[in-house]
Structure 1
Amino acid sequence: MRKPAKAILILLSALLATALIGLALGYFFNRFIVDLWWFKSLGYEPYFWSRLIYRYLVFGLAAALFFAIFFLNFWIGAKYLGARHPLLKEEGPKRRAYRRIYDKFQQRSLLFYLPLTLGLAILLSLPLYAHWESALLYLTAPSAGISDPVYGKDVSYYLFSLPIYLLLFRELLLSFGIVLLGLLALYWLEMRALPKPTHRWRRGARIHLGLIVFLTFLTGAWYFALQADLLLYTDKHLPVFFGPGYLEMTVTLPLIVASMAMLLIVGVVFIYFVNTGKGAKTLLVSILALFAIIGIRHLPATTDLMQEFVVTPNEIAVQKPYIAHNIEATLDAYGLQDVERREYPIREGSWDLTTPEVQIGLRNAPIWDEKTLLKVYRELQEIRTYYRFDSVDVDRYSLRDDYMQVFLTPREIDLDRLPSSAQTWVNRWLKYTHGFGIAMTPAAQERSGPMTWIVKDIPPTSDYGLQTSQPAIYYGMRQNTPVIAPNDSREIDYATGNDVKLSDYQGSGGVPVDTLFRKMMFALYFQEKNILYTTQTNADSRLLFRRNVVERISHLTPFLMLDPDPYAVITPSGIYWIQDAYTYSSRYPYAAPHEVQLEHSSRRVNYIRNSVKIVVDAYNGSVDYYVTDRDDPIVSAYARIYPGLFEPFDAMPNALKRHVRYPKTLFDVQADVYATYHQTDPGTFYKQEDLWVLPQVHWRNRVETIDSYYLTLNLIDPERFEYNLFVPMNPKDKRNLRALMVAGCDGDNYGRIVTYDFPKGKLVYGPAQFDAVVKQDPDITQQFTLWNQEGSRAIRGRIIIVPVNGVISYIQGVFLEATTTASIPELARFIVSQGELAVMKDSLPESLNGLNERIEQVTNRPEPTQKLAPPTSSPRVTPPERLPQPTGDG
């Protein structure tokens, strides 16, 4: 009985020890283990290991390089050049002490310089560890196919190589400095230990030191070469233009080249002097010449004199080629080199309101704006306190065979809105796990009164045939707590009437939590003991966390810059989020920088591309990356580093592809840049005689800038109405319209930018002038005064500019909102305007007819005013031919 008992005891001890070791490893590697499970659940385990291994691989290679530099030099200095000499009787005690130290170092030198070189190598490799991804981009980046205008180097050199070279320069200079100091100390000790008659370092020592000195000088010369590259980023000529100008190219650059050449000469003469003892005067003259060149370069008088007597009197002429370089580089860097310029033929007079073009163009105007509409959605469609609409998205769907611009918003769960008595762990982690469905309305509305709902209520219903098989939303824009689903408590799917429908999660999202070890790891990770103690989990339970779309993507791919406005898309199979992502750099040569405004921050860049579209499944949480710009060298480099991460755009499902749109953030950046850089003639650019700005208007008690918005227009292809991104432009310090910029979102026209110029001598009313016309109209202002005295508040909506058939018209909705707690804005009137005339009526057709009558009265035309009768069949907006046509579900 003793042997079996002993065996059982050993087995139990082994199991206990294994459990303790597992718990210890789990504690110390908790974050690593949870991250690994999370990446694996998304199908990105190889990518997880790649990012982990790459950083240590780069660090290891850098450490090996610096270790080799230090070890080889110290080994040569300590062993190869060391020579044993007998002790002489006449040597004094001091020299004999040096000799003993020297002999002991010779015998045990490895014990000294091996840990020293290893420590130094690790310290010098830490910056490369911090920039491991930049190092990989340097190694894998493809050619951009564009050369800079000064040195003729490919743009990829500046995007990928230059940042690494600047980092390596500092590290190499520091390493050579350390080696030089170490060798000087070593050879000094050796010289002190040699017999008295020897007063010079031996020839081998001089050669070794000379080589290190030469490499140090060579590194310094490399620094001057890098300074020449950095000239392409000078901002001394702002606000006129960015990049080097006449002085930099004709004065500074030659002085940099001269400094580099003189530094190499100083290095050669110095080595010659150290080895021969000759050339002291030459060395002194060379050093003085080097300092003189550097001094001349940095002396303000040098450039001030040139500026005063050469540049200022002939500035346009001498700066012309450099301004041209800046214009060309900036347009390339922001994807504006192919912008199409067109003249817009302004036509005055009344419209032919019976033509389909006019009817479609005017009746697709998005009268509602997102801020006003969000109030309506929250009052009428949140329905339950624990649901929340955070923002309103704009999109387009094919509904009843019409290509229709719509507003929609997903109904997400908001656990913070539960009553305090319901704020239990079971409710937050097991019961209230997801949002449900969307609300959708048309962007346009022709008559005052309540709006039309395309999708509404819980469960969602639609009179337009827009249905989805999976309306549950587990992943969205809210920062909700993790949840465990499915579970034995069962989840609240939705409530309708007096019934509460329960459900069990059937998706593939989240990480299985089916073992005690996993529950312990998650309890430790989230600092939530109830994960371990709960008995409501089962074999199918999964823990869903990082449910915020932006947080989810950022944790996966932190190297991408994300658009601040992901938008929801409903398809027959479910609800998805589409997130635009950007590759960017601040190293594009000669390109002007710009501040990109993100949700809570800004980023200064001078190169940006919307190279990636990301799709997140609102039910399963899957994240898929699609490359939309194969010519972008940055995304191409990342695709080489992480094979399998990115898919081609053609692989995106058609049901999602038709909802891809040109991102507003990118277009706003491009519009801001193009407002200056559309002036491609250097002379015009220098004088800034045609500078554009975004219009400003006094709206809702403050001055706001009108930025881009989505419209369904036929501005790109006159024969086809398409979903476009649109922004007007004013001349600098003026309020009239100067241009319209349009970016296509559909089919072959996706990303195509067209700019319409208005004749410079022709007055076209801008938004601020339209606003003044409305405020000065006595009939309109009288009606606003009456509304604001009757317990309601009149709110003017977004100003919509609609260019149709040569006529620039303005449309604006007027909304009434009760001054009570439950205020639901309702569309009450339509303001339409052309030039200095404005009319406000109950419906869009009435307003348009009234405006035509006003125009006829002003121009005294004898012919009768055309009336806009309701069409017998609604005109159709044809979806782009390239896009697959949805069958009622978008």
Structure 2
Amino acid sequence: MPDFIDSTDYLNPKRPSRRGRFLVIAALLFVAFIVARIVLSDWVDLLWFKSLGYGDVFWKTFAIESSVFLLSAAITFFVLYGAFFLIRRSHHADLPTNHAIVVGGQRVSLSVAPALRVISLVVSIAVALITGLTMMSDWPTLALFWYAPHAAGSVTDPIFSRPLNFFLFTLPAWRMIDGWLLTLAIATCAVAVLFLVITSGSRSLDTRRLSLAPSPWRGLSCTAAFFFLVLAMTVFVERFELLLNHHTLFDGINYTDAHITAGGLLFVAGALVLGAMIAAVNAMRESRVAVIVISVLPAVLCYGVLTVIGWYVANFVVKPNQLVREEPYITHNIEMTRQAYGLDHFSQSEFPAEATLEAADASHNQPTLQNIRLWDWRALQDTLRQVQEIRTYYDFPDIDIDRYVLNGKLSEEMLAVRELNVEKLPVSSRNWINEKLIYTHGYGITMNPVNGFTPEGLPNLLLSNMPVQSTVPGLKVTRPELYFGELTNTDVYVKTRQQEFDYPQGQANNLTSYQGTGGVALGGFARRLIIAFDRGDLGTLPFSDDVTPESRLLMHRNIRDRIALLAPFLTFDQDPYMVVGDDGRLSWIIDGYTTSDSYPYSTHYSLGGDSVNYMRNSVKVVIDAYNGTTTFYVFDTKDPVLDAYRRIYPTLFTDAAKMPADLRRHARYPEGLFSLQADVYGLYHMTRPEVFFNREDLWTVATETASDANGQQSVQPMQPNYVVMKLPGGTQEEFVQILPFTPANRNNLIGWIAGRSDGEAYGTTAVYNFPKTRLIDGPQQIEARIDQNAQLSGQLTLWNQQGSHVLRGSLLVIPTGRALLYAEPIYLQAQQSPMPELRLVVLALQDKLAYGTTFQAALTALFGGEASSLTASETAQPAQSSAGASPMMLPQANQLSSQLPAELKALIADANRNFEDYQRLTAAGKLAEAGQKLEALKSDLARLDSAKR
């Protein structure tokens, strides 16, 4: 053995002691730093909650989280450390001790027992902390169990007769606690096996044989008894989860589970309890491995018998008579799924979907016709980014659709907020002062009618520019600054000595200072230091001369992050929308949902990556874009999940009746809920079990042909559309969300649903069924009719070959009178210009298709009997495409030819003849000859261009 190791290193007690003290002090300092970091972060969060008036919400959440953490961590530690201690005591005589090795000529004794004590302590603490954090992250489950009322309600499950609250609140908590205990049971068994291996190895070293004496199995017997008891609890809870199982045809319990599995699992649980008793007796007497094996047998035998019986019943009793056997359980699934998603409140009516012009009743549906949305939101977003961003650091992240009463009429408008994106600031401007003190907010909003176009093909803006300008009396914006939005992802400091950039104005910039009440006051140096440490701004904030004690920190400014921190137990819609109040202030509205995955018998669907089988739009959150004030308004007082949360946080929620009237008028049926309900309704509109079983009347959301930014077309499901329309049988127009359906694997329409948003009808849904005795064209069939129209097809092909590409907007299917009106805008976008222009509007009824360069021209062609035309009229001339001169400009040129020289007149006349021939030949399907005329037309246009120069 080498002699370079000094034996005094092992014999001198001082050096290990100093090393040990150093390690202990370092560990304590590290723990103290982590604790201090958490405490300071929580303190800053508390300041933020208090600034919003929700200090008690913070303390209640903190109390629940800390209680769950401490209780679960403490129990986990004592169970694991106790298991280590008791098992170590039971194996004390067999632990390897006083084994000596020679190091540097010195004899050194090694003992496993002290090392095991340290390992057991460290492992128990680590597992306890991890378990505590895991349980704490799921605190809403335990909070709902503790605070929710557990009295029987009006809804009970048909198998176990348990109330709805049991499945929504009790069962999830049981599952969570059961999973925790099962982890502890497995961990204690692992400890017992570890000691068994160590002691058996020690004895084999001493006796040269593996000792299987009775005493080593006592610890394993105890932990096995604990494991069997927890497993019995797991099996017992699993009985209730049978109502949540997924089967091929439906979700919930089926015939085999109801008659065999549910009762059989009780026998399995009883067998596990019996096995736990056998293992416990084995631990108290002379422990033998054979007894542990015997303790497992009752449960294995019961489970095996249950599996065989279940297999026999499923294959030889149910399968030959599946519909008869499963019918009552299918009925339960249909009823409970419809309740869980609110489909049981859908009203149903018949819609004739007639094909005549008279059925469309245009004269009595003018408000509906004048609010048909021709601006596709993608096209509008691209256009606004070109004409209204003003500076590169502004952006329009989304387009919202809402209704406003302007000039005494209800009209549908499209709104976009101009947010500041600090990522787009010039690199030379990316410094602390600019990002934190000067560039603090976005500015302004645009608003335009859904079908309003200028003669240049741009949106007819009612609100625009900086400062905000309005073209409508009574429509105003008094607070255009946006300190809180969808792109506000950074902290800023306001009310500083540094003035903030408001908006560009000529060669100078307009500056402002924050006048609101939002944010956390920075206060003195010590408070500022703590805030800077928490926000990662320690090197700058405490030493800035621009920051004063009255300055305020605006944090958590992204509206999605903001509400998620205040109410992490809610699920929020992905489409927040902006509202201009009567007082001119800007406010965000976001729909909040309560969800569950344990509604009995209900089918699970995916929502944002999570599996849910219950959903309610119970809350609408309003966020002031200037102050950041956040208010949660309750819109569904009958939701049991929200009722439980209101018991936990009585001050977080406000009754909907207290919502300001100007904001309440803009509450709408949320898109997220409507889309999920549409998916569910496609299957669960079938309420008869035999129809459901055979899937005879399965519906799917209709599909349409859509264009991406490059003009590439693809087929995709239609998105819900907000429209202003008069529902069949209604007396006035209202704001609704509609979506058409087709039969599965078919293109013809079968029905449509409408989610209502106005007045007393808010939150209700109407379903309209089309006649099944005749074919009703679906969106894909209308798209095919557009493509098959020779003149339209030729023109679209021409546009796609002239350095530009065609963008087809969303095809709208709008019930009008007793008919269906189809509308699709078609845009032209030049390759060198990112701004699309509206060039055609296509309208169609069941038996007629019309088009024009403007909506009025297409409407006149459809209802007025005039011929459809690809040329612009004198009164509504579309914008010239940047791709080059368009044939649609020739009629106007003809009107001006009388003022031109004779040579130019002849060229214009020749160009007109070639264009007319091109249209005639295209309509006749003679594309080869039409191509020749097109080439002649191009030659005429080139000669005209040369003559002009």
TM-score, normalised with respect to structure 2: 0.75
Shift of the 726–270 alpha-carbon distance from structure 1 to 2, 3 Å rule, reads: same
Is 1:250 aligned with 2:250? no
Counterpart Cα distance in 1 of 2:852 and 2:322 = 57
Structure 2 stretches lacking a partner, 5+ long: 1-31, 98-119, 196-213, 708-712, 869-874, 877-949
Q: Which residue of 1 aligns with 2:681?
A: 674
SS of structure 2 residue aligned to 1:624: strand
1:64–1:424 distance in 2 versus 1, CA, 3 Å: closer
Other-structure match for 2:141: 134
What is the CA distance between 1:405 and its match in structure 2?
0.8
Whole-angstrom CA distance in 2 between matches of 1:66 and 1:526: 34
Decide whether aligned partners of structure 1 residues 758 and 223 sit closer, same or farther in structure 2, where only a CA change above 3 A counts: same
Distance change >3 Å, CA 717–CA 212, structure 1 → 2: farther
State the match for 2:757 in structure 1.
745
Corresponding position of 2:504: 495
**Is contact 1:350-1:855 (8 Å) kept?**
no
- For CA contacts below 8 A with separation 6 or more, give which structure has more relative contact order: 1
- Aligned partner of 1:562 in structure 2 is 572
Question: Aligned pair 1:157/2:166, yes or no?
Answer: yes
Q: Once the 2 structures are TM-superposed, how far is the Cα of residue 592 of structure 1 from its aligned partner?
A: 1.1
CA-CA distance at 1:678 after TM superposition: 0.8
**Contact 2:518/2:629 (<8 A) preserved:** yes
1:648 is the counterpart of 2:655: yes
CA 1:764–1:354 in structure 2 vs 1: closer, same or farther (change >3 Å)? closer
Partners of 2:231 and 2:400 in 1: CA distance: 55
Q: State the identity as a percent.
A: 32
Q: What CA distance in whole angstroms lies between the structure 2 residues aligned with 1:792 and 1:219?
A: 69
Q: For each residue in 1:598-618, what CA deviation from the matched residue of structure 2 results, as whole angstroms up to 9, or x when unmatched?
A: xxxx22211122111111111
Q: Does 1:620 align with 2:632?
A: no
Q: Which residue does the alignment assign to 1:458?
A: 466
Shift of 1:350: 1.6
Query: How many angstroms does 1:770 deviate by?
Result: 0.3
Structure 2 partner of 1:52: 62
2:44 is aligned to: 34
Residue 395 (structure 2) pairs with residue 384 (structure 1): no
Q: Deviations over 1:542-587 (max 9, x none)?
A: 1212211111222222222121111111112411111112121211
The whole-number CA distance in structure 2 between the counterparts of 1:70 and 1:759 is 68
* Secondary structure at the counterpart of residue 313 of structure 1: helix
Residue 136 of structure 1, CA deviation: 1.4
Structure 1's 61 and 776: CA in aligned 2 closer, same or farther, altered over 3 A?
Answer: same
Contact 1:797 1:813 in 2 (8 A): yes
Which residue of 434, 438, 460 corresponds with 1:431?
A: 438
Query: Taking structure 1 as reference, are residues 161 and 849 closer, same or farther at Cα in structure 2, changes over 3 Å only?
Result: same
Q: Summarize deviations over 1:25-62 as a string: whole Å, max 9, x none.
A: 97674423322222222222222122122222234445
Secondary structure, aligned partner of 1:351: helix
Matched residue, 2:333: 326
Tell me the alpha carbon deviations over residues 292-317 of structure 1, each in whole angstroms, 9 at most, x when there is no partner: 22112234xx4443333222221111
1:400–1:76 distance in 2 versus 1, CA, 3 Å: same
Helix, strand or coil at the partner of 2:260: helix
Please give the residue correspondences for 1:205-284 in structure 2 after superposition, counting only pairs within 5 Å: 219-235=230-246, 237-238=247-248, 240-264=249-273
> What secondary structure, in the 3-state scheme, does the structure 2 residue paired with 1:546 have?
coil
Once residues 551 and 128 of structure 1 are traced to their aligned partners in structure 2, the CA distance between those partners, rounded to angstroms, is 23
- The CA deviation string for residues 342-368 of structure 1, in whole angstroms up to 9 with x for no partner, is 111232222377754322222211111
Query: Which residue of structure 1 lines up, in the alignment, with residue 822 of structure 2?
Result: 810
* Aligned counterpart in structure 1 of residue 719 of structure 2, from 707, 710, 718: 707
Q: Identify the residue that residue 492 of structure 2 maps to in structure 1.
A: 483
- Cα deviation, 1:58-101, whole Å, max 9, x if unaligned, reads 344456777999999999999xxxxxxxxxxxxxx99xx9xxxx
Whether the aligned pair in 2 keeps the contact of 1:485 and 1:541 (CA below 8 Å) is: yes
Judged with a 3 Å threshold, the aligned counterparts in structure 2 of structure 1 residues 273 and 709 are, in CA distance, closer, same or farther, namely same
**Other-structure match for 1:416:** 423
Displacement, 1:463?
1.7
Higher mean Cα deviation, 841-850 or 572-581? 841-850
For the Cα contact (< 8 Å) 1:406–1:440, is it kept in 2? yes
1:27-426 matches, within 5 Å, as: 29-62=39-72, 128-142=135-149, 145-172=154-181, 219-235=230-246, 237-238=247-248, 240-264=249-273, 290-299=299-308, 302-351=309-358, 356-426=363-433
Once residues 466 and 67 of structure 2 are traced to their aligned partners in structure 1, the CA distance between those partners, rounded to angstroms, is 53
Instruction: Encode CA deviations 1:382-419: one digit per residue, 9 max, x unaligned.
Output: 12222211111111111111111100011111223233
> In structure 2, what is the equivalent of residue 776 of structure 1?
788
Give distance in 1, aligned partners of 2:165 and 2:670.
25
> 1:459 offset after TM fit, Å?
0.8
Larger CA deviation: 565-574 vs 26-35: 26-35
Residue 586 of structure 1 is matched in structure 2 by 597
| Offset of residue 744 of structure 1 | 0.6
Deviations 1:428-458 (A, max 9, x none): 2222211111000011348974432111111
Structure 1 partner of 2:840: 829
- Structure 2 vs 1, CA of residues 693 and 855 (structure 1 numbering), >3 Å: closer, same or farther? farther
- SS for the counterpart of 2:349 is strand
Amino acid in structure 2 at the alignment position of 1:776: Q
Task: Tell whether the 8 Å contact from 1:695 to 1:735 is kept in structure 2 after alignment.
Answer: yes
Q: Which moved more, 1:810-819 or 1:396-405?
A: 810-819
CA distance in 2, matches of 1:768, 1:119: 60
The answer to whether the 8 Å contact 1:26/1:521 transfers is no
User: Do structure 1's residue 729 and structure 2's residue 741 form an aligned pair?
Assistant: yes
What amino acid is aligned across from residue 295 of structure 1 in structure 2?
Answer: G
Aligned counterpart for 1:513 among listed residues 502, 505, 522: 522
Given that 1:352 and 1:358 are in contact with CA atoms closer than 8 Å, whether structure 2 keeps it comes out as: no
Shift of 1:820: 1.9
Q: 1:217 to 1:346 in 2, by over 3 A?
A: same
- SS of match in other structure, 1:492: strand
Alignment check: 8 A CA contact 1:41 1:509 kept: yes
Q: Distance in 2 between matches of 1:485 and 1:291?
A: 69
1:802–1:427 Cα change, 3 Å: same
Answer yes or no: is the 8 Å Cα contact 1:447–1:844 preserved in 2: no
Q: Distance in 2 between matches of 1:119 and 1:523?
A: 31
CA separation in 2, counterparts of 1:267 and 1:785? 78
CA–CA distance in structure 2, aligned partners of residues 430 and 41 of structure 1 = 20
SS state at 2:763 partner: coil
Inter-partner Cα distance in structure 2 for 1:789 and 1:123: 63
Match of 1:757 among 757, 769, 777: 769
On the 8 A contact 2:362/2:369 being kept in 1, the answer is no
- The aligned counterpart of 1:89 is none
- Given that 1:837 and 1:854 are in contact with CA atoms closer than 8 Å, whether structure 2 keeps it comes out as no
Q: Equivalent residue for 1:101?
A: none
1:838 corresponding residue in structure 2: 849
Q: Distance in 2 between matches of 1:264 and 1:522?
A: 55
Measure the CA separation in 1 of the matches of 2:37 and 2:181.
39
- Contact 1:470–1:619 (CA<8 Å) still a contact in 2? yes
Which residue identity lines up with residue 532 of structure 1 in the other structure? P
Partners of 2:855 and 2:127 in 1: how far apart? 76
Which range is displaced more, 219-228 or 463-472?
Answer: 219-228
TM-aligned CA distance change 1:414 to 1:120, over 3 Å: closer
- Equivalent residues of 2:827, 2:839 under 8 A apart: yes
* Contiguous gaps of at least 5 residues in structure 1: 1-21, 79-92, 98-112, 186-199, 858-868, 871-890
* TM-score normalised by the chain length of structure 1: 0.79
Per the alignment, do residues 681 and 354 of structure 1 end up closer, same or farther by CA in structure 2, a change over 3 Å counting?
Answer: closer
